[in-house]
Amino acid sequence: MQNLLNAFRRSKPAALLIIVVAVAMTGCSSLRFPGVFRIDVGQGNLITKEMLDKLRVGMTPRQVEYVMGSPMIADTFHPNRWDYMYSLETGKGILVQNQLTLFFENERLAKIDTSRYKDPEALRNDLLKQMGIELPTQPTPAGEPENAPQKETTEPAPSTET
């Protein structure tokens, strides 16, 4: 060990370079190098509208877990509170989050807090808006492509003969 320290004392530029590289490498995950592909990372519980529609005040924790799955956070300091969270960070650094909090009293679901919940359509629109993609103004009919030309209806002109 003493020999290593003596080598660093003699070669200060090399020691400085090693320290700078070590410090720079600790933050590599936050650097965004151009041309490097980064994957989209989704974490947590997907919360669908159907799942939320099945929740009812008065359900047991076991029934809630059957409908929603295991909570993302079951806090030991607040055992009567379950948090279902979902976050998606795209490779471009765009982040969307969703959260649903459930409160229990006497082993029954007492309150459903949807103040930080977005339905899947709103979550999708938020993601598209952050990506700079324009949202369609009106939904397209099922089965038709979004850019399909509109069909013209041709009705015969009313006759003016008497």
Q: Is residue 75 part of a domain?
A: yes
CATH of the domain at 52: 3.30.1450
- Per-residue pLDDT at 123: 78
Question: Parallel, antiparallel, or unpaired: how do β-strands 73-74 and 41-44 relate?
Answer: unpaired
Q: Is residue 105 part of a domain?
A: yes
**In Å, how far from its chain's centre is CA 139?**
23
What's the whole-number average pLDDT of the chain? 77
Q: Is residue 138 part of a domain?
A: no
Number of domains making up the chain: 1
Task: Give the pLDDT confidence of 75-99 residue by residue, as tens digits.
Answer: 889 889 999 998 888 887 888 888 9
Is residue 122 within 8 Å of 112, Cβ to Cβ? no
Q: Is 51 exposed, middle or buried (0-12, 13-18, 19+ CB in 10 A)?
A: middle
Q: Which domain covers residue 83, as residue numbers? A: 37-131
Q: Is residue 78 part of a domain?
A: yes
Q: Is residue 56 part of a domain?
A: yes
- Per-residue pLDDT at 73: 81
- Per-residue pLDDT at 152: 45
Q: Is residue 26 part of a domain?
A: no
Task: Give the pLDDT confidence of 123-152 residue by residue, as tens digits.
Answer: 788 888 887 777 766 655 665 555 555 444
